[in-house]
Amino acid sequence: MKRVTMADVAKAAGVSKSTVSQFLNKRYEHMGEETKEKIREAIERLGYHPNYIARSLKQKRTAMIGIIVANIMHSFSTEISRAIEDFCHEHDMHAIVCNADDDPVKERKYIEMLRARQVDGLILFPTGGNLELYKQMEQERYPVVFVDRKISEVNIRTIVVNNKEATYQAVAHLIEKGHRDIAIITPPLTIYPRIERMNGYKQALNDYRIPIKQEYMISTEIQRMISELSRLFALPDKPTALVAGNDLSFFEVMKFLKENGLRVPNNVAVVVFDNIPFASFSEPTMTTIAQPAYAMGKKAAELLLQQIHHHEELPDSNLYTFPCTLMIRESSSRALI
Amino acid sequence: MKRVTMADVAKAAGVSKSTVSQFLNKRYEHMGEETKEKIREAIERLGYHPNYIARSLKQKRTAMIGIIVANIMHSFSTEISRAIEDFCHEHDMHAIVCNADDDPVKERKYIEMLRARQVDGLILFPTGGNLELYKQMEQERYPVVFVDRKISEVNIRTIVVNNKEATYQAVAHLIEKGHRDIAIITPPLTIYPRIERMNGYKQALNDYRIPIKQEYMISTEIQRMISELSRLFALPDKPTALVAGNDLSFFEVMKFLKENGLRVPNNVAVVVFDNIPFASFSEPTMTTIAQPAYAMGKKAAELLLQQIHHHEELPDSNLYTFPCTLMIRESSSRALI
DNA sequence: TTGTATGCGTTATCAA
DNA sequence: TTGATAACGCATACAA
Encode pLDDT of B234-270 as tens digits: 999 999 999 999 999 999 999 999 999 999 999 999 9
Say yes or no to pLDDT of B293 above 90.
yes
Q: What's the CA–C1' distance between B79 and D5, in Å?
A: 51
**What pLDDT, on a 0 to 100 scale, did the predictor assign at position B287?**
98
Q: Is the pLDDT reported for residue A261 higher than 60?
A: yes
Q: Name the closest nucleotide to B33, judged by C1' and CA.
A: C1
Closest nucleotide (C1' vs CA) to B19 is: C2
Q: Is the backbone of residue A87 left (phi > 0), alpha (psi -120 to 50) or beta?
A: alpha
B145-183 pLDDT, tens digit each = 999 999 999 999 999 999 999 999 999 999 999 999 999
Which protein residue lies nearest to nucleotide C11, measured between its Cα and the C1' atom?
A: A58
Residue in B180, B198, B239, B197 with CA at minimum distance from that of residue B215: B239
Q: What is the SS3 assignment for B284? A: coil
Q: Do domains B63-161+293-322 and B163-291+326-332 have the same CATH topology?
A: yes
Task: Name the 3-class secondary structure at A122.
Answer: strand
Rg (CA), chain B: 26
Spacing of A23 CA from C15 C1' in Å? 20
Handedness of CA B103, B107, B113, B119 (dihedral sign): positive
A254 vs B: CB within 8 A: yes
pLDDT in tens, A306-317: 999 876 666 767
Helices (H), chain B: 6-13, 17-24, 33-46, 52-59, 75-90, 104-116, 131-140, 163-176, 192-207, 222-233, 247-259, 293-310
Q: How far is the CA of B36 from the C1' of C3 (A)?
A: 16
Say if residue B26's pLDDT is above 80.
no
- Coil, strand, or helix at residue B274? coil
Sorting pLDDT into bands at 50, 70 and 90, what band is B204?
very high
Nucleotides of D under 7 A from a protein CB: 1-13
The span from the CA of B249 to the CA of B251, in Å, is 5
Which of B66-80, B211-225, B283-297 shows the lowest mean pLDDT across its residues?
Answer: B66-80
pLDDT of residue A72: 80
pTM: 0.90
> Residue B216 and residue B235: Cα distance in Å, rounded?
10
Res. B53 pLDDT band, cuts 50 70 90 = very high
> What's the pLDDT score for residue B314?
65
DSSP state of A178: T
CB-strand contact B61/C, under 7 Å: no
Strand D near-CB residues (< 7 Å), A 91-110: none
In the predicted model, what is the mean pLDDT of residues B313-325?
A: 86
d(CA B171, CA B270): 10
R_g over Cα of chain A: 26
Distance of CA A42 to the CA centre of its chain: 45
Q: In CATH, what class is A63-161+293-322? A: alpha beta
Cβ distance B157 to B140 under 8 Å?
A: no
Q: B293 or A99: whose pLDDT is higher?
A: B293
The pLDDT of B92-118, averaged and rounded, is 93
B308 touches B131 (CB < 8 A): no
| B52/A285 touch (CB, cutoff 8 Å), yes or no | no
Reported confidence tier of residue B336, pLDDT bands at 50, 70, 90:
confident
What whole-number distance in Å separates Cα of residue A39 and Cα of residue B332?
64
Supply the pLDDT for residue A87.
96
Q: Which of A21-30, A209-218, B158-167, B217-226 has the lowest mean pLDDT?
A: A21-30
3-class DSSP state for residue B219? strand
Residue A1 has pLDDT above 60, yes or no: no
Q: What DSSP string describes A208-232?
A: TT----GGGEEE--HHHHHHHHHHH
> Is B53's CB within 8 Å of A49's CB?
no
CA–CA gap between residue B266 and residue A326 (Å, rounded)? 32
Q: What is the pLDDT of residue A34?
A: 86
pLDDT of A189 strictly over 80? yes
From CA B113, how far away is CA A51, in angstroms rounded? 10
The pLDDT assigned to A335 comes to 84
Structural domain boundaries of chain A? 6-50, 63-161+293-322, 163-291+326-332
Determine contact, residues B5/B50, Cβ cutoff 8 Å.
no
CATH 3.40.50.720 is held by the domain A163-291+326-332: no
Indicate whether B1 pLDDT > 60. no
Interface test with A, best of B53, B78, B93, B119 (most A CBs within 10 A): B53
**Mean pLDDT of all residues in chain B?**
93
Task: Give the pLDDT of residue B305.
Answer: 96
Residue A93: pLDDT band with limits 50, 70, 90:
very high
Q: Does the pLDDT value for residue B97 go beyond 60?
A: yes
Confidence at residue B273, expressed as pLDDT on a 0 to 100 scale: 98
Q: Where is pLDDT greater, at B222 or A75?
A: B222
| Summary mean pLDDT of chain A | 94
CATH number of A6-50: 1.10.260.40
pLDDT tens digits for range B28-50 = 767 888 888 899 999 999 999 99
State the pLDDT confidence band at B93, using cuts at 50, 70 and 90. Answer: very high
Residue A144: CB atoms within 10 A of its CB come to 23
Percent of all residues in chain A with a pLDDT value above 70, rounded to a whole number: 97
Mean pLDDT of B49-58: 95
pLDDT band at A203, cuts 50/70/90? very high
Burial of residue A233 (CB within 10 Å: 0-12, 13-18, 19+) is middle
Is residue B244 within 8 Å of residue B272, measured between CB atoms? yes
